Structures are given as structure tokens and as C-alpha cells.
Amino acid sequence: EVHTPIVISTWRFIEAVKVAAWHVMEEGGSAVDAVVHGCSTCELLQCDGSVGYGGSPDESGETTLDAMIMDGTNMNVGAVGALRSVKGAIEAAKLVMEHTEHTLLVGDQASQFALALGLPGPANLSTADSLKAWSVWRESGCQPNYWCNVVPDSSVGCGPYRVSHLSQRMTDNKCEISDGTDSEQCGSSSSKAVGFQNHDTISMAVIDKRGRIAAGTSTNGASHKIPGRVGDGPIAGAAAYADDDVGACGATGDGDVMMRFLPCYQVVESMRQGMDPASAAKDAIARIRRKYPSFIGAVFAVNRLGVHAGACHGWLFQYSVQDATMNDVQVFTVHPD
């Protein structure tokens, strides 16, 4: 049975899958363009609040974007990290891929590059909603001088991503912090589990009619991240990977941990060695779990024939698929091992 063309995306990003599927199936478009159209759809829709502008404010209240596109025909990659003032993150990534010899541009200069090449902006990536979420976070569980006092009973500093030696160092620094306000900038010391609820990348893989395979990602990263933090989204092999000869992978979850394992590179290489997609996905998750038993994350794997599977740890994972045999998007649910 022929499963290709096929579009697969993390989570229930149905609209994004539909747009990408339309592009490869009805219009006979390329896998790369389908991934870009699909992820752009989520950026515009602000899918789950975790893709695109107006979501996951960092410790200083700013939203920044990470995105990547990978062309599995020639292993070309373009990516942006900590993108500010441009909403079209995956379009910016595509510009990096197609108009430079580089792979990854970051921060203000990435925005300037994207603007210079014609993307709309500069745009404010904050919204009333994201600023509200940020102020609620600041106010909740934040005691006076919390920042300056070493956290009593946990290794977690002020924001969920700061560990105690850093807050200690900030103490020495008289509590001067990124936004120039006083020691009140802090949040609950409760850990990552809180941050993870809205921690959802779109990671998408597409196989087009000609068998070309592409994968890409777009995310606004982790809520309350330290300004400047870049996650797994724009790292080839971490949150996505594609190779026409083998297949593709997409990942989502705790990017700070997952990017240490290049789980999508692992999935594709395991399939290259002969593993089926389900085993390859499970193996990639197991490698992380062995070292980080409480990490939260998931991957999907698809081989070049369009056979797909998912694996996850610490949460229930869903991914969405539309292939040549389906009239509509189907959502698959994966239970943690």
C-alpha cells in the first residue's frame, strides 16, 4: 500500500497538517514548501500558544521564536534561534537555508536578516495575553527578595530554569536582573512540570510525490526561559531531521534535555540501520530516559515508505497524520512506555 505523499505533525495541529497535505497532494508541491506552509499556519494561528508570537514569555516577558527547516534531499538546513520582532519564524529559517551558506542565525541579527530579505516587520511578538501570562507568573509564588534568598528547599532558582548557584551569584550581584527591576522578578519555585504544560513545538515531516522528504519545526520555546535561551527547535537532529534515503523524525518536549541526545538524528540513523519506525522511536526515547528518568518528551518517526510510529515519556503524546490513503487528518495517541 502506498502511504506517500504523507504529512505528519506533532500534536493535534490539524490545520497545519491540512495546509501541508493540500500543498503536496493537490498542488504537487515540494516537501520543503509544505513544511513551511504547515508550520507558518501554526505560527499565524498561534497554535496552543506555544507556536508563533504571543506565547511562552521568557523571564523578562518577551516572546522569542525558534524554527528550522531541513531538506532531506541535499541535507541543507536553515534555522533561526531567539528570533525577535519577526513573526514568520519558519519563513526566516527558509531564507537562511536558501540565501546563505549558514545554518543558524540568532537574536537581533536573525531578525535583521529576515527583515532585509523582505519578511514583514518589525513586529512586536508580545500580545496582551502573553504579557498577562507573564505578570500572573511574576506575581504568583513570588515573595519579596525571593530572588536574593537562596531557594530554601530546592535546587531551583527564581525562574524554573535557574539553578541555585546562579541565584547565589545573582545575590552577589545585588540582585540586578535582566529587566533592571529589583528582586521581585521571579516565579514559583515549582519546577519544570509547570512550564511543560504549554510546551509544545510543532515539528512536521513531509514526503512529497517525488519522494522528497523534509522536516521542520517552529516554537516559541519554554515559558519563563532565561532570555537568550535557544531550545532544540532550531537544532538539526534534535527536534527534527530528514533524509530522503531513510525517512524523517520530529520531536517535542523538554528541549534543554532532549537536544543533548539528538533524538531525531538517532531515530533516522536507527532506521537507516534497519530498525522499524516504532522501535527507532522507542529506542531514541529510552536513551534519554536512562539518563533523565523524569524528562518529558516525545518523538514520531516515519520511514520513506510512509510507515510511522511515535514514542513518548512522561506525558501522553499525540501526533497528526494525513497520507495519500486518508480523506482527512487522523490523530494518533501514544502512551508512555
User: Which residues form the catalytic set?
Assistant: 201
CA angle 314, 317, 319 (to 5 degrees): 160
In the complex with ligand SD4, the residue whose CB is nearer, 7 or 235, is 235
Residue 249: count other Cβ atoms within 10 Å of its Cβ: 34
SS3 content of the chain, % helix, strand, coil (to 5): 30, 20, 45
In the complex with ligand SD4, the residue whose CB is nearer, 142 or 230, is 230
In the complex with ligand SD4, the residue whose CB is nearer, 232 or 323, is 232
The answer to whether residue 46 forms part of the interface with ligand SD4 (CB under 6 A) is: no
Cell numbers given for 139: 506575581
Choose one: 92-100, 184-192, 194-202, 263-271; the region binding ligand SD4 (CB under 6 A). 194-202
When binding is defined by CB under 6 A, the residue of 63, 85, 185, 201 that contacts ligand SD4 is: 201
The answer to whether residue 3 forms part of the interface with ligand SD4 (CB under 6 A) is: no
When binding is defined by CB under 6 A, the residue of 46, 60, 85, 219 that contacts ligand SD4 is: 219
CB 20 within 8 A of CB 33: no
Residues 51-80 interacting with ligand SD4 (rule: CB under 6 A)? none
In the complex with ligand SD4, the residue whose CB is nearer, 49 or 221, is 221
In the complex with ligand SD4, the residue whose CB is nearer, 225 or 308, is 225
With a CB cutoff of 8 Å and minimum separation 6, the contacts of 181 are: none
**By beta-carbon distance, which residue lies closest to ligand SD4?**
255
The answer to whether residue 199 forms part of the interface with ligand SD4 (CB under 6 A) is: yes
Angstrom distance (rounded) from CA 108 to CA 235: 18
User: Binders of ligand SD4: how many residues, by CB under 6 A?
Assistant: 13
Choose one: 26-34, 152-160, 181-189, 199-207; the region binding ligand SD4 (CB under 6 A). 199-207
**Least distance (Å) from ligand SD4 to the CB of residue 213?**
21
Of 333, 326, 335, 238, give the one whose Cα is nearest residue 11.
Answer: 333
In the complex with ligand SD4, the residue whose CB is nearer, 56 or 183, is 56
**Least distance (Å) from ligand SD4 to the CB of residue 234?**
9
x/- contact string, 146-185, with ligand SD4 (CB under 6 A)?
----------------------------------------
The answer to whether residue 195 forms part of the interface with ligand SD4 (CB under 6 A) is: no
Only one residue has cell 498542488, namely 27
CB 36 within 8 A of CB 69: yes
CB 273 within 8 A of CB 33: no
Strand partners, 249: 241, 301
Angstrom distance (rounded) from CA 82 to CA 105: 9
Helix (H, G, I), strand (E, B) or coil at 84: coil
**Least distance (Å) from ligand SD4 to the CB of residue 324?**
28
**Least distance (Å) from ligand SD4 to the CB of residue 299?**
11
Q: Is the link from the previous residue into 5 a cis peptide, with omega within 30 of 0?
A: yes
x/- contact string, 222-261, with ligand SD4 (CB under 6 A)?
x--------xxx-----x------------xx-x------
The rounded Cα 95 to chain-centroid distance in angstroms is 19
In the complex with ligand SD4, the residue whose CB is nearer, 24 or 77, is 77
Residue 112 amino acid letter: Q
**What is the Cα Rg of the chain in Å?**
20
The answer to whether residue 200 forms part of the interface with ligand SD4 (CB under 6 A) is: yes
With a CB cutoff of 8 Å and minimum separation 6, the contacts of 267 are: 241, 249, 277, 280, 281, 283, 284, 299, 301
Residues of this chain that interact with ligand SD4 (CB under 6 A) are 199-201, 219, 221-222, 231-233, 239, 252-253, 255
